[in-house]
A and B are shown apart, each in its own frame.
Chain A
Amino acid sequence: MKYTPRLPETNDNVSPSSPLKELAVLAGGLLAIIVGIYLVLGVAVDLIVPRLSPGLERRLAKPFLSTVTDIDDAADSTQESVQAILDRLQKECAELPFPLQVHVKSSETINALAFPGGHIIIFQGLLDEVTSENELAFVLAHEMGHYANRDHLRGIGRALVFITVSTLTLGPDSPVAKVLGSALNLTEMRFSRAQENRADTFGLEALQCLYGHVGGSTDFFNKIPADQDPGRFGHYFASHPENRRRIAHLEELARSKGYPSEATLPFPSTD
């Protein structure tokens, strides 16, 4: 054997490639697939959600309740009086397939939340601002509207499938999955404008049914003056163009349906 000192002319161990082009193609392809899945999910969720049984909904609800159970409950008498209004609404005006339960939490937050499974959380801060029973009934009826339309399930459905898919393909520690998770914040559960509108309509109809008039339905939105920080008061109050639009929508609806507006009943004081 003879050794000829010579270097190879080409390096066949490294494929000629343009890394930036490869990144663009792969990342672009992945993004297109994710957007495609998102759109398909939107359609699928709209088809499946109306068919979900209330029993299944209650089972899905359990993990979400734990996020608020560490806040103390308010006094039993408060809880009972609010539950009484809710029960009257359910019995006389809005037959929902499962019973709703209200939990009053002693926190200063001025907000109310509808959780899956028929649990409504109302914060003491909101009750302190209420001056009439009609207002409170509207808030409760609005949340009931979200249940009647299965609104909360739509948001959860999409987020759950996304996080499942990303965990399966990328692994739980992937930074991409974390970005995805924070983008779809499950516990926030914001509703779309159309969903809020439908819930408002439901609330108005329920108010008309229970009291024979819709006085007090928009009182809530008008409570906080314009210069207050909107974020503090939750999705009810920000004197926010969104809420002005909702007030206008309610007033117009009452006008078109001919609902009268009369004096409101006072809400029993809670202190």
Chain B
Amino acid sequence: MIDLIIFLSLVALGYGVGTYVEKRHYRRIKAREQATLKLAITTTKHINYPVEDIQSVALVTGSAVISVDYFKRLLASLRNIFGGNVKSYESLIDRARREALLRMKEMAPQAHMIVNVRIETSTVGRKANKKGVGCLEALAYGTAVTLKGHA
């Protein structure tokens, strides 16, 4: 009986606190995306500017680690039985990737563009090697290019 009570409290905690934290994170992500909109990020490998116009290039990275709460885990394990979209993890991955991209942008705020951007996602934490998901880590990296003048 006590196991059931602990289980239900964890689920309720996961739902309550998890939903609040997620909404707050999304608000901040949207605000920062709006602020860094001028800085272009693209996955193209080549820059169309002549070498004389380039002032500097640098490797920039951004990473974010988001953890799974008990409620999302419960929904995912139920989905594992029945099949279908695991919607509870979708927002998790979305937040992690957008946060990683934002941190990458914030590493070179004076750059004009970031090219050759790649995103990698992996799981960390105590369940990383088993079937559960402990924490989700997203890494975004690219080349920040600063041009001479106002180009």
Contact = CB atoms under 8 A, between A and B. Distances in A.
Interface size class of B (residues with CB under 8 A): 20 to 34
B78 interface: yes
A196 B79 CA distance: 43
A71 B113 CA distance: 78
Given A5-B38, A23-B74, A175 B7 contact: yes
B122 interface: no
Contacts of B34: 7
Contacts of A7: 33-34, 37
A252 B4 CA distance: 44
A29 B81 CA distance: 11
A26 B82 contact: yes
Interface residues of A, number: 26
Contacts of B4: 179
A175 B3 contact: yes
A171 interface: yes
Nearest to B38: A5
Contacts of A15: 85, 87, 90
A59 interface: no
B27 interface: no
Given A13-B90, A20-B15, A26-B75, 4 more contacts: A6-B37, A23-B78, A30-B78, A179-B4
Interface of B: 3-4, 7, 15, 19, 33-34, 37-38, 40, 42, 48, 71-72, 74-75, 77-79, 81-82, 85, 87-88, 90-91, 93-94, 113, 131
**Chain B residues touching A, majority SS:** helix
15 contacts: A3-B40, A5-B38, A5-B40, A7-B33, A13-B93, A13-B94, A14-B91, A17-B87, A19-B15, A19-B72, A22-B75, A26-B79, A30-B78, A174-B77, A179-B3
Interface of A: 1, 3, 5-7, 11, 13-15, 17, 19-20, 22-23, 26-27, 29-30, 169-171, 174-175, 178-179, 182
Contacts of B81: 30, 169-170
